[in-house]
Chain A
Amino acid sequence: MYIVIVGGGQVGYHLSKVLLNDGHEVLILEQDPARCDRLCEELGSVVVRGDGCEAATLESVGTARADMLVAVTDDDARNLVACQVAKHRFNVRRTIARITNPTNEKIFKILGIDVTVCSTKLILAHIEQELPSHPIIPLLKLKSGTLEVIEAKIPPDSKLIGKKLRAFPLPKGSAVLLIISKEKGPQIPTPDTVIGAEDEVVAITQAENEEAIRAMLAK
């Protein structure tokens, strides 16, 4: 495959190295002369100095016969334009753009860029995975013993919604002390109190039961 890469920074360099090793024909467009020299030394004559957003430059490197154009500069606007020029002037079948601002994903999609890769979003996704999706906030640890007072919010899609408190599969040694609902405000619950969406529940429990409560809320 013939692949044109716009941007000879870290991403462009490592990408080219792998693609060349795999036997593809690669051409890197890079504007900075010092960076061009370094890339040439490392990778051989696969680097052309020039602006990958300019139609004339893209034409001179034979973009019309490219199977793919990959824009990996650190500037979302440049990457967008490089992909659009490749698509609309040279009919490049597949364009891939790196983006740094996750909100730009939408406009790239509307404008027909085939693939966007957003490192910011990928990292965020990993962080969010690590976070418990139904956080339990420890409010108070009682000095004597292992009891603690916690607060949790009923998720809007919870199966517990509409159920009476007596039906709750609460772990042993736990009790609900208070329910704060959006409509009714704080109330001392009875076993017949019905749970609503996004109610905040204050409970007393053994510290080791946190995980069980989290699992119960997630249902």
Chain B
Amino acid sequence: MKVVIMGCSRVGAQLAAMMDAEGHKVTIMDVDPFSFKKLPPTFNGTALVGNGLDEESLKKADIGEADVFVAVTQGDNRNVMACQIAKHIYNVPKVVCRIYDPIREEMYRNLGLHTASPTKVVAKLLRDQIEG
């Protein structure tokens, strides 16, 4: 599978390393080249400096060939906009989006994006730790 990840945050880097280790073709993009230091030395994929909202950067990442696009920058709005560009303009079959705001997460899930809201998940995990 060809996977394009936008945002080399801790989560982005971890995900990129995981998918790469599983043998997928991974391209990870971030506007800050320093962020690529989070990638493990064993990472075999491509690290690309660029903005996932920018047409040229997306083309450099071969977005047209991607099977999956994942947006995990710190900004909910950037993530949903990038995912919708990938889905509606470049016809990427599957787009996955991190959205911190649970209400927006639900809305965009209904609009056909695959979404994950860390806010809900982490709160639940913490509660389980407290009560467990």
* A interface residues, Cβ below 8 angstroms from B: 53-56, 75-78, 80-81, 84-85, 88-89, 101, 103-104, 106-107, 110-111
Contact = CB atoms under 8 A, between A and B. Distances in A.
A55 B104 contact: yes
Nearest to A82: B77
A172 B106 CA distance: 73
Decide if the interface of chain B is mainly helix, strand, loop or mixed: helix
Contact of B84 (A55, A101, A107): A107
B81 A81 contact: yes
A106 B53 contact: no
Given A53-B101, A81-B80, 15 more contacts: A54-B101, A55-B101, A55-B103, A55-B104, A75-B77, A80-B77, A80-B81, A84-B107, A85-B104, A85-B107, A88-B110, A88-B111, A101-B53, A107-B84, A110-B89
Given A81-B80, A103-B55, A111 B104 contact: no
Contacts of B75: 77
Contacts of B103: 54-56, 89
Contact of B104 (A54, A76, A106): A54
